Chain A
């Protein structure tokens, strides 16, 4: 049953967002100045100065607790924020930044350790959380994500201390729904730390190996491709310059498939040797970048998102420019049979013969340094399915698809949450996109789905069930725009609703492809489930 409102926990997240200080120009210089003259040794000194009064050293000089944990830069930011917020630590922002860098560098996660929960660092909206085994999920991933836990490493003894802190700080934990059906503390103080110590231990081969890893220099020229849900594919180049140890400035020349420019600049710090965190301007937007460099330093991928709306952002994938011919992207990824389409192939050293496979005839319109623009005629009877694209010595398997009709629209995310806005808290939008699919006979005459990507659809909302229809949620909860972004209404009681209910709602999001575009007599419709719920009072860096 329900918990009482007494069983609330406090969060109190102010804006201790990683790299927040870099946003302002003056602050940027201040940080750069500090970091230019300080290295890890200074980080160690600052930790002793600011943390040492409470965190006493052991015989080896390791500070209590601090030496017993490893976590992401965001994880360290959160911990240090709590030291300031609950324990009265006075820490200037510049010292904090140096300490976070030092701790993330010396007590971070190896790339393979962070990989499964990167979605949480990247603030990807509406992706399913990790599932912790057994009872851990119920015990520990009820208030925050399992990812928050999976992004830390400690031995059982320190996991136990963390459990102690939880119950000490939130004494109602063991009374809350989802906890009071069991001897919560008995489990939290025995089985849970033991299991976490096994799953996420302090000492690992991966971390030992990563610490021996040769440093990566990310400076150079990069080819970029990405996709912004609701906006489309973009591509271009990035020039990365190194400005200090693990600090970079980047110039972007990017554009969307429709030609609109997405140029910009970024200033980034690389933590733990591979965790790229940047503040950027892209077009007219201020963004954060959460990327990871591949261990070989040839790839940089992740997500960027708006400063003030992490739910709006885009995938990002950059590969270092090289000498060999290479195709990184074909746009659009689907060509309808019987049409003539402008197609861009993004890559490098794209000289030589162009071949898009059976039923497609390509004429080169323009050859650029990193792109090749083609006019492609698809024969009326070109067989639907994927094609391998070849340009001179470069090829890309299944890089483009031919279709003659659309059988299905998958709307992603299939389940989403949006939050009402009001007061000082912005609404949290939900961005939907479609993946159009044609089903063709595959091997062993099983149908094979050919993914055509986003096609232009009409967006609408409807009630998810009879209750939502009765309560007219569609009229109150918000609206969806022509690019598939749902914009929630305001929070608080609404006198127009029965019982002055708030504007929450249970909706169906509907994407419709008209008969003509779908190549069939009737429209094709795809649906997703959208829950419009109340505000969240805190926005920690890791949910």
Chain B
């Protein structure tokens, strides 16, 4: 490894130091499936060690947000209308927010997160008023919940939100959070004030068309940096010839707020979601293929066909293994270096995972 790479690595790796000091903890994969299941998988042992039923899931198990201490998994269920907090040790429901109320149907469009101190939950709410003979779209909003509120949690605060937000990510400082939608917005959790707007649709990326980003996988572990594929077309440098479709990588450092876009390749395969390696300048992307993206320079380093479509991808805390999940009913383990398949873990009951967002927790 050259010195430049090492320097980059050092910047990328705040999580490693923490991980090292918490030696007894292990990597677990948390995932969910239809109709109401939540699984805790011991990654190294390749074993499902927790298999829980989420009450009132109504055949819908979506986004998963682990508490920062890895004890609770908050899961969007009930066709996006409820968030259930499940204790990953006991399987008991310890938190519940039912977003809808009589006359108002409220869905959370996949976007919610918990602050790093574990105390507050931020939920992107899409409400609709149900009239007798007509439905009325209401303005979207952010709702803040107290995670200690128990099984009948009600928002402690609400404030206006833009439409079409697809991901919420809390900042490492407990005071602000990011919303990804048309653009990247940063809000003050206490006041609801929008502090900053930076470009996504309106990115500053010369020579590129307006990009397309749709990320429903709020994964930033283990690096603390969120990464997502973003698509656009690039006008050839000389200014002639047809625009070329390009896959770029968006990274958002949740601690520093640094936002960056880097071109990866002339789009040759679709990538649904990505995760950054904690140990090398690389990202992994999943869909019908598993792609290893080098970050120094940005390029496709390796690409292998997957046994089937996977929407989600995770990487182990030591950076040695990659996990594909979030479709059908299995998790496949790959060597992060060679992308060779190492193991396959089948989920009991074989329910569909495809609307869930599997996560990696340390506990």
A residues apposed to B, CB below 8 Å: 1-6, 54-56, 64-65, 161, 164-165, 167-169, 171-172, 174-175, 177, 180-181, 183-186, 189, 499
B residues apposed to A, CB below 8 Å: 80, 105, 107, 109-110, 126, 128, 130, 132-137, 163-164, 166, 182, 201, 210, 212, 214, 216, 231, 270, 272, 288, 305, 311, 354-355
Q: Which of B164, B210, B212, B270 contacts A184 (CB 8 A)?
A: B164
B133 to A55, Cβ gap below 8 A?
yes
A174 to B354, Cβ gap below 8 A?
no
Q: Which of B105, B182, B214, B288 contacts A168 (CB 8 A)?
A: B105
For A56, the chain B residues whose CB sits under 8 A away are 132-133
For A499, the chain B residues whose CB sits under 8 A away are 288, 305
Distance to closest chain B CB from A167 (angstroms) = 5
B80 to A171, Cβ gap below 8 A?
yes
Given A2-B270, A56-B132, A171-B80, A180-B164 contact (CB < 8 Å): yes
* Cα A185 to Cα B136 with chains together (Å): 12
B109 to A172, Cβ gap below 8 A?
yes
Distance to closest chain B CB from A49 (angstroms) = 15
Given A6-B354, A180-B214, A1-B270 contact (CB < 8 Å): yes
Q: Which are the 8 A-B pairs with shortest beta-carbon distances?
A: A168-B135, A168-B128, A1-B231, A55-B133, A64-B133, A54-B132, A161-B134, A1-B212
Q: DSSP class of B's interface residues: helix, strand, loop or mixed?
A: loop
Distance to closest chain A CB from B87 (angstroms) = 27
Sample (12) of A-B pairs whose CB atoms are under 8 Å apart: A4-B272, A6-B216, A54-B133, A64-B132, A164-B137, A168-B105, A171-B80, A174-B164, A181-B201, A181-B210, A184-B164, A186-B163
B135 to A164, Cβ gap below 8 A?
yes
Q: Which residue of B lies closest to A500 (CB)?
A: B308
For B214, the chain A residues whose CB sits under 8 A away are 1, 3-4, 175, 180
Distance to closest chain B CB from A177 (angstroms) = 8
For B210, the chain A residues whose CB sits under 8 A away are 181
Q: Which residue of A lies closest to B215 (CB)?
A: A4
Given A1-B270, A4-B214, A175-B166, A55-B137 contact (CB < 8 Å): no
B133 to A171, Cβ gap below 8 A?
no
For B128, the chain A residues whose CB sits under 8 A away are 164, 167-168, 171
* Cα A474 to Cα B238 with chains together (Å): 42
Q: Which residue of A lies closest to B272 (CB)?
A: A4
Distance to closest chain A CB from B145 (angstroms) = 20
For A6, the chain B residues whose CB sits under 8 A away are 110, 216, 354-355
Given A1-B231, A6-B355, A168-B128, A183-B163 contact (CB < 8 Å): yes
For B137, the chain A residues whose CB sits under 8 A away are 164, 167-168, 185, 189
For B126, the chain A residues whose CB sits under 8 A away are 171
* Cα A183 to Cα B311 with chains together (Å): 26
B135 to A169, Cβ gap below 8 A?
yes
* Cα A180 to Cα B166 with chains together (Å): 11
* Cα A177 to Cα B182 with chains together (Å): 13
* Cα A326 to Cα B305 with chains together (Å): 68
Q: Which residue of B lies closest to A169 (CB)?
A: B135
Distance to closest chain B CB from A209 (angstroms) = 30
Q: Which of B107, B136, B270 contacts A171 (CB 8 A)?
A: B107
B133 to A65, Cβ gap below 8 A?
yes
Distance to closest chain B CB from A305 (angstroms) = 34
Distance to closest chain A CB from B135 (angstroms) = 4
For A65, the chain B residues whose CB sits under 8 A away are 133-134
Q: Which residue of A lies closest to B166 (CB)?
A: A175
For A165, the chain B residues whose CB sits under 8 A away are 134-135
For A5, the chain B residues whose CB sits under 8 A away are 311, 354
A181 to B212, Cβ gap below 8 A?
yes
For B182, the chain A residues whose CB sits under 8 A away are 183
For A184, the chain B residues whose CB sits under 8 A away are 163-164
For B201, the chain A residues whose CB sits under 8 A away are 181
For B110, the chain A residues whose CB sits under 8 A away are 6
For B133, the chain A residues whose CB sits under 8 A away are 54-56, 64-65
* Cα A161 to Cα B136 with chains together (Å): 7
Q: Which residue of A lies closest to B288 (CB)?
A: A499
Q: Which residue of A lies closest to B128 (CB)?
A: A168
* Cα A181 to Cα B214 with chains together (Å): 11
* Cα A56 to Cα B133 with chains together (Å): 8
* Cα A168 to Cα B272 with chains together (Å): 26
| Interface hub of A1, A2, A175, A186 (most chain B Cβ within 10 A) | A1
* Cα A171 to Cα B201 with chains together (Å): 21
Distance to closest chain B CB from A284 (angstroms) = 43
Q: Which residue of A lies closest to B306 (CB)?
A: A499
Q: Which of A161, A164, A171, A183 contacts B109 (CB 8 A)?
A: A171
For B231, the chain A residues whose CB sits under 8 A away are 1
Q: Which residue of A lies closest to B232 (CB)?
A: A1
* Cα A341 to Cα B355 with chains together (Å): 66
